[in-house]
C-alpha cells in the first residue's frame, strides 16, 4: 500500500521537503549552539526535526511548536511502544502464558499499564487521522500520503467506513513512528562517530568542500557525487544499529529453517547488534556463527571500528537493518534520503569535537545499551 509513494523512484518527490526540514534543523541548532550546555538540546532538536518531517509527509501537518499536543502525545505513545517491545521489560514477553492470569491477581499491574497505553495510543493516532480527514473534506489539505490514501477510491473499495478508518489510521501513524525515533537516534550515533573518529570527520568535510564548495549546503542532487558521505551513512547503519534486537515477528505456521524446527506462534528475534544489556540466546543466520550480524568479523573486518571505507569493497554487504523480504521497512528509501541530506548538511555546517574536563583532558563519550528495543544509549557528556 505504501510502495506507490515510498519506492526508490517515488521518494524523490520528497527531496524538497527533506531539504527544507534540514535547513530548519540547522537554524534551530545554530540557536542551540549559543546556549550554555548546548549539546543537551541537540538530541531533542534531531527528534523535533524528524517529527516535523514525518508529520508533513504522513499527514500534511506543519509542526511549529514543541508544545504541540500532536507532537507530545505522539512521542509519549512511541516511547511506550519501544519500551514495551524490549522483551525484558515485561515478563509476559518472555513467558506468554502470563497473558492468561486474571487482572485481579497480584503482580499483574502490567496488564493495567498495557490497557492504558493502548487507549492513549488509539486516541493519539485517531486525532491525527481525523485532523487530516477534516482537511481533505474541506479541500484545504496539503499533499501527504494519508491525503492520497483517503482519495484513492480503488484502494479502499470493499471496506466499510469503520474498516477504512482503522486501517488508514494505523498505517499513517506507523509511518510516523517508523521514521521519527529511528532516524533521530541514528543522527545521535553520527555525532558520536564524528567525535570519536576525527579522521573520518575531516575526510567527509573535505569531500563536501571539494564537490559542493565550502560556502554551500549539499542538496539531494549531490547524493551521487558524494560517495564517501554515502559510505558514512552505510557505516552508521552498521556500527550501532538503532534496533539492535530487531523487530520481533510471530511465526504464523510451523516452519523449518537451516535445521531449526520453528513452531507456529514462536516469537522470532534476529539480533542485529550485540550490547552488554542484550544478553539472551541469539537466533541468527548460520553465517553469523551465533554472533550479532553487525559484529560478525568474518564479514566486517575490525567490526567495532567506525570505518566507512569498508564499503569501497562492493562485496561487503550492507547491514540488513531495515529487515528482510516482504516485511522489510517500506520507508527505507525515504529514511536513507533523510539520513544523507541531514548528515551531509551537518558536516557542511558544524565541526563536532570532544569537550575538555577541568584539567584540560578530553572527555570520551560513551555508547551503551538502552532499556528499550529501539536504540543504544549515548552519554554525550564529553561533546561540545
- Cell readout for 224 is 551521487
With 0-12 / 13-18 / 19 or more C-beta atoms within 10 angstroms meaning exposed / middle / buried, residue 314 is exposed
Distance CA 343, CA 205 (A): 11
Give, in order, the Cα–Cα distances in Å from 280 to each of 207, 270, 289.
42, 11, 15
Distance CA 141, CA 47 (A): 25
329 assigned ligand-binding residue: yes
**Please, what is the angle between helix 332-349 and helix 227-239, to 10°?**
110
- 303 contacts 294 by C-beta, under 8 angstroms: yes
Calculate the CA dihedral of residues 90, 93, 96, 98 and round it to 10 degrees.
0
Count of Cβ atoms closer than 10 Å to residue 287 Cβ: 11
Residues in the annotated binding site: 329
Residues in the annotated binding site for heme: 329
Amino acid at each position: 500500500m505504501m510502495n506507490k509513494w515510498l519506492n526508490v523512484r517515488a521518494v524523490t518527490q520528497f527531496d524538497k521537503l527533506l531539504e527544507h526540514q534540514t535547513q530548519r534543523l540547522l537554524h534551530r541548532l545554530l540557536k542551540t549552539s549559543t546556549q550554555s550546555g548546548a549539546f543537551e538540546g541537540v538530541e531533542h532538536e534531531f527528534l523535533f526535526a524528524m517529527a516535523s518531517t514525518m508529520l508533513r509527509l504522513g499527514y500534511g501537518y506543519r509542526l511549529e511548536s514543541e508544545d504541540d499536543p500532536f507532537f507530545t502525545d505522539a512521542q509519549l505513545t512511541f516511547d511506550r511502544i519501544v519500551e514495551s517491545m524490549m522483551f525484558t521489560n515485561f515478563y509476559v514477553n518472555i513467558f506468554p502464558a502470563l497473558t492468561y492470569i486474571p487482572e485481579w491477581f497480584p503482580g499483574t499491574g502490567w496488564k493495567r499499564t498495557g490497557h492504558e497505553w493502548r487507549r492513549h495510543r488509539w486516541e493519539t493516532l485517531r486525532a491525527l487521522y481525523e485532523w487530516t480527514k477534516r482537511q481533505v473534506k474541506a479541500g484545504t489539505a496539503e499533499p501527504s500520503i494519508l491525503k492520497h490514501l483517503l482519495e484513492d477510491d480503488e484502494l479502499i473499495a470493499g471496506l466499510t467506513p469503520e474498516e477504512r478508518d482503522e486501517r488508514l489510521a494505523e498505517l499513517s501513524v506507523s509511518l510516523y513512528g517508523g521514521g521519527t525515533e529511528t532516524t533521530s537516534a541514528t543522527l545521535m550515533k553520527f555525532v558520536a562517530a564524528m567525535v570519536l573518529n576525527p579522521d573520518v570527520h575531516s575526510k567527509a568535510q573535505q569531500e563536501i568542500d571539494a564537490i559542493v564548495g565550502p560556502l554551500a549546503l549539499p542538496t539531494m542532487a549531490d547524493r551521487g557525487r558524494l560517495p564517501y558521505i554515502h559510505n558514512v551513512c552505510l557505516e552508521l547503519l552498521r556500527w550501532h544499529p538503532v534496533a539492535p534486537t530487531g523487530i520481533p515477528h510471530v511465526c504464523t505456521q510451523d516452519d523449518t529453517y537451516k535445521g531449526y524446527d520453528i513452531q507456529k506462534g514462536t516469537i522470532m528475534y534476529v539480533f542485529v547488534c550485540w550490547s552488554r544489556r542484550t544478553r539472551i540466546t541469539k537466533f541468527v543466520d548460520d553465517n553469523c556463527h551465533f554472533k550479532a550480524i553487525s559484529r560478525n568479523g568474518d564479514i566486517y573486518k575490525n567490526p567495532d571500528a567506525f570505518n566507512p571505507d569498508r564499503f569501497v569493497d562492493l562485496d561487503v554487504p550492507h547491514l540488513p537493518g531495515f529487515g528482510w523480504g516482504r516485511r522489510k521497512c517500506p520507508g527505507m528509501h525515504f529514511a536513507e534520503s533523510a539520513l544523507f541530506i541531514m548528515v551531509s548538511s551537518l558536516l557542511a555546517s558544524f565541526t563536532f569535537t570532544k569537550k575538555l574536563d577541568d584539567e584540560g583532558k578530553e572527555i570520551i563519550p560513551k555508547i551503551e545499551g538502552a532499556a528499550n528495543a529501539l536504540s543504544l544509549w549515548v552519554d554525550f557528556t564529553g561533546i561540545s
